[in-house]
Structure 1
Amino acid sequence: MKSPAIRFLAMSLLILSGITLSSHAALPFFGEDEKQVPSLAPMLEEITPAVVSISVKGTQVSRQQIPEMFKFFFGPNMPDEQRQERPFRGLGSGVIIDAEKGYVVTNNHVVDNADEIVVKLTDGRELEAKKIGSDERSDIALLQVDADNLTAVTVADSDKLRVGDFVVAIGNPFGLNQTVTSGIVSALGRTNLNIVGNGSYEDFIQTDAAINRGNSGGALVNLNGELIGINTAIYGPNGGNVGIGFAIPSTMMKNLVDQIVQYGEVRRGLLGIIGGNLDSDLAQAMNIGINQGAFVREVSPDSAAEKGGIQAGDIITSVDGKDIRSFTELRAKIGTLGAGTEVELTLLREGETRKVKVVLDEFAAQDVAARQLHPLLEGATFADGETEQGLAGVEVSELAPRSPAAQLGLKEGDVIVGLNRQRVESVAALRNYLKDHEGVVALNVKRGRKSLYLVIR
């Protein structure tokens, strides 16, 4: 048994070095020699084989619209666009979450457009991986390898994290295999960063554990060696570590992976409300005793929310007993749960706390080439989508550079919510309006928190 003085000194060393333990872990003295310093090495030796290096090869395809003047000179047989292919290579990290089935989780941006994916294990084995599925809007991808004697990490409940908990990041920055850094949870529920892109589902863990290029897809673990996040991005002016890194919470990742395993894709849940963040000004105006939550401005007819009894003016404060701080956080949690999932929402209505159960609808989105809708929208691909405030509309899911749609001013992630002051909630509604309309069309576009108009003549 260590003396209190020795235990106090050991804990001080851990804190000064940026490392401490969860309340459930014992102080890490290892071996019989009391002169040994505290170390996380035994824990890391158990879990680092579950963190892999990922290398990819592929071809980046870009399309450039050919100006009409060239078509005039070279004749009608000239194609509408020029297609260019450029080979690329990339490096990243991944985490084995199921040793028996060979499932490896990583970021979508690590393996996007890859023709060849190779996973390298800590024992030197290199395995060809196949992509089971991915979700671009939450930046998660699931791979599978065929091998024996794999090591998987235990997935923890990231909803139990607190700011100040100590964490360890494991990955392959700059291609340097098995690099370990430590830090703390700096913040929770980081949203509206547009790291993944406009219209994405963000609910990041922020950490000061050093994360650099190549760490993407790697593991963020607690001091029990359990996975609590997938390292995804850094916030820095020059692309280097400045002590602000972001990870996708493990609970969010697991919800998405379960859908990919079951369906081969993410079947996103839909609540059917329009709203915004509850802040102190709104709380004061409505004489509400709380300052955080999701304020419901409108409930869509026949939606899951209406069937569950949610009303305009309600303030949603938790999902399945777990507090939420904003509408954006609610949107991310609902959007990463599968369609058909039953959730219990806690809400505040006229000063009273209520609980309602809601079965989520499916968020259906089908990509449509814009050339089918209007010549000046050519180069864009549209899909049913929603704004950050939950307003249904038509999202620009893809956009060709220098295309007519790009020249009009559209950008990827834009959501068209109106035409000539008429609400548009779906691709079908956009198509029906443009089919019967002639003349000038003013598109009401939501870009993040901004609202703007683009005019088609």
Structure 2
Amino acid sequence: MSQSPQTNESTKTRTPGKMIKGFLGTTAIAGVAAAMLATGLPAPVTGAFADAVRVEAPQAPSFADVVQAVSPAVVSVRVQAEVKPVSNDGPFNFNFNGRSFDDLPDDHPMKRFFDEFSRGFGGESDRDDRRAERDRRGPDGKRRPGRVRPVSQGSGFFISEDGMLVTNNHVVENGSAFTVIMDDGTELDAKLVGRDSRTDLAVLKVEEAREFTYVDFADDSKVRVGDWVVAVGNPFGLGGSVTAGIVSARGRDIGAGPYDDFIQVDAAVNRGNSGGPTFNLNGEVIGINTAIFSPSGGNVGIAFAIPASTARAVIRDLIDDGTVERGWLGVQIQPVTADIAESLGLAEAQGALVTEPQSDAPAAKAGIEAGDVVTAVDGEAVEGPRELAKKIAGIEPGKTTEITVWRNGESQTIEVELGTLPTETAALTTDDQDEPSAPQAEATLDDFGLTVVPAENGRGLLITSVAADSAAEERGLRAGDVIVAVNNQDVSDASDVVGIIDSAASDGRKAALFQVENENRSRFVALPIDQG
């Protein structure tokens, strides 16, 4: 079924010089004369046609075989939702002896008066809305149930013979009714099996009992940048459309969520392609189209697909019980920059820096602390926060996992029994407290361009000003931030900071790690020591 572009060794070409020589040769006179008699064209023109370039290829490059095989498995997904009845509350919420404006009979004098009066505050459109609202009431005056109307349309594809199909979560998340439109135009009702907002995947099941053409997932670990791909879907509601391109990049993080690992392709993907498959030339799904980058909203050749390996695991869980269970460590993390690595004595800028373990979460219970750098999970290296999130999510909740951390200049392993990732993880909070007010005595940390005072609650130093163009300003420190620790040591006075910095400098460190809190969030910032 697969076919790739080919190069034909027997391709023949002619240069302009050869074409002219062939036309002027005496041996061609009889052929030219015959052509003139047959066509009525001047001999020079007829001779040029006869000597035109011809390409002899056994078969031109084509994706037709792939498209013909997979198209029956690709569908359009139309989503409908119930429209909530319009509220009576508005700019004129009149009440007449317990009866609202819309409850009055149409021939009521006050009804006619306010209907005319309201034209100056919205014109005919407001009146039409009220009429539509009255039409939604039954003969008894009670409101009918909300109407069902289309809210979105996307793409999808069958993954089983009995009608299981995959699409995007953002296509179906607001829906109450789902219709699957086959490539031959047949419309079938479907029900929602399950969806996962974190990976933007959803599974539908066609309710009619019949056998469907379906496709399988590829081993996306073998997908290479530069491989040909074919995207099939429903752009702009036009129905089955096919585009082709190549894999542009792998491992893209576009800020969509904690598990970003997208395949980037340059095949044309537009609105309505969401949830549709991207195939390799073997007709296997390498990814599910989920997002595009576009200043205009249309295709500019940058599209992102969820890798098959991610989709396969999530879809299996959704089919089993409609939900996805993920392992949960319970920490806030940030990347390890070169400056942070230097301040901690790490040889390389890799791993995930723990800014705060969540209260009562598995990490805190096991002894993981703020300032630890997670460098490995069960012996597998962690490159950064994204890799840590993916590794932990892929482990079964309740399993005891070995977390390797870098702490106080050395590596150690901590065993953590993972929990189950909550459906909605609450934002990390600290003890309730008012914004600390600054005491009178201020101190300066000239090496970093900071002016600080002890925090009102006695925990850390409140930054009152940051010098322009200083190292602190360049790294995002602002007045109102609270320095709670330096190099993982608590500070409550400027002299504490000076002592820690002197010690780090004597150890040959070129940067110090400041733990900073603001608005109940914690982060780490590395400030260079040698700029003082």
Give the TM-score normalised by the residue count of structure 1. 0.61
Q: SS of the counterpart of 2:397?
A: coil
Q: Tell me, in whole angstroms, the C-alpha distance in 2 between the residues paired with 1:95 and 1:321.
A: 37
Instruction: Quote the residue 2:236 is aligned against.
Output: 174
The residue aligned with 1:55 is 78
Kindly report the root-mean-square deviation, in angstroms, between the aligned alpha carbons of the 2 structures.
Answer: 4.3
2:273 corresponds to which letter in structure 1? N
Provide the C-alpha distance between the structure 2 equivalents of 1:207 and 1:119, rounded to a whole number of angstroms. Answer: 26
> Does 2:429 align with 1:385?
no
8 A Cα contact 2:80 2:148, kept in partner: no
Corresponding residue of 1:420: 433
Q: Secondary structure at the match of 2:159?
A: strand
Structure 2: distance between partners of 1:302 and 1:335: 18
**Deviation readout 1:207-234 (Å, 9 max, x if unpaired):** 2221101100001223332222210111
Tell me what 1:44 maps to: 67
**Counterpart for residue 234 of structure 1:** 292
Deviations 1:347-367 (A, max 9, x none): 6678888888765311234xx
Q: 2:308 aligns with which of 250, 264, 276?
A: 250
Given the superposition, is the C-alpha separation of residues 347 and 152 from structure 1 closer, same or farther in structure 2, using an over 3 Å criterion?
farther
Counterpart-to-counterpart distance in 2, 1:329 and 1:75: 65
Q: Deviations over 1:175-221 (max 9, x none)?
A: 23332222333333333534xxxx67543322222110110000122
Q: How big is the shift at 1:308?
A: 7.2
Matches within 5 A, 1:192-203: 193-194=255-256, 201-203=259-261
Specify which structure has the higher proportion of strand. Answer: 1
In structure 2, the residue matched to 1:90 is 152
Residues 7 and 143 (structure 1), Cα distance of their counterparts in 2 relative to 1, 3 Å cut: closer
Counterpart amino acid of residue 198 in structure 2: R
- Cα offsets for 1:303-328 (capped at 9, x unmatched): 44467786655544566888764314
Identify if the C-alpha distance between structure 1 residues 231 and 418 changes in structure 2 by more than 3 Å, giving closer, same or farther. Answer: farther
Over 3 Å counting, the alpha-carbon distance change for 1:301 and 1:321 in structure 2 is same
Q: CA deviation at 1:170?
A: 1.7
Which structure shows the bigger proportion of residues in helix conformation?
2
Distance 2:272 2:412 in 1: 46
Q: Distance in 2 between matches of 1:63 and 1:321?
A: 58
Residue identity in the other structure for 1:178:
G
Deviation at 1:171, TM superposition (A): 1.1
* 8 Å contact from structure 1 (residues 255, 337) kept in 2: no
Offset of 1:272 from its aligned partner? 1.8
Per the TM alignment, residue 346 of structure 1 is displaced from its structure 2 partner at its CA by: 6.9
Name the aligned partner's letter for residue 186 of structure 1: S
Q: Structure 1 90/304 Cα, relative in aligned 2: closer, same or farther at 3 Å?
A: same
Structure 1 residues 51-450: aligned runs within 5 Å: 51-61=74-84, 87-100=149-162, 102-145=163-206, 146-159=208-221, 161-191=223-253, 193-194=255-256, 201-300=259-358, 303-305=361-363, 313-316=371-374, 325-331=383-389, 334-335=392-393, 339-340=397-398, 360-365=418-423, 384-386=425-427, 392=428, 419-420=432-433
Check whether the contact 1:278–1:292 (CA below 8 A) recurs between aligned residues.
yes
Equivalent residue of 2:348, what SS? Answer: coil
Aligned 8 A contact 1:189 1:329 in 2: no
Larger relative contact order (CA 8 Å, sep ≥ 6): 1
Q: Report the Cα distance in structure 1 between the residues aligned to 2:403 and 2:70, rounded to whole angstroms.
A: 36
Offset, 1:345: 6.3
Counterpart residue identity of residue 433, structure 2: N
Unaligned 5+ runs, structure 1: 1-5, 11-32, 366-382, 387-391, 394-416, 423-443, 445-449
CA contact (8 A) 2:81 2:151 kept: yes
CA distance in 2 between partners of 1:188 and 1:65 (Å): 52
Structure 1 counterpart of 2:354, which letter?
V
Once structures 1 and 2 are overlaid, which stretch shifts more, 238-247 or 84-93?
Answer: 84-93
Of 297-306 and 176-185, deviating more is 297-306
Identity %: 42
Q: Which runs of 5+ in 2 are unaligned?
A: 10-55, 101-132, 134-142, 436-480, 482-516, 521-532
Provide the rounded CA distance (Å) in 2 between the counterparts of 1:99 and 1:48. Answer: 15
What letter matches 2:179 in structure 1? V
Q: 1:338 to 1:125 in 2, by over 3 A?
A: farther
Amino acid at match of 1:39: S
The answer to whether the Cα contact below 8 Å between 1:230 and 1:250 also exists between their aligned partners in 2 is yes
Structure 1 residue 91, shift from structure 2 partner: 1.9
Separation (CA, whole Å) in 2 of partners of 1:65 and 1:237: 39
Contact 2:236 2:272 in 1 (8 A): yes
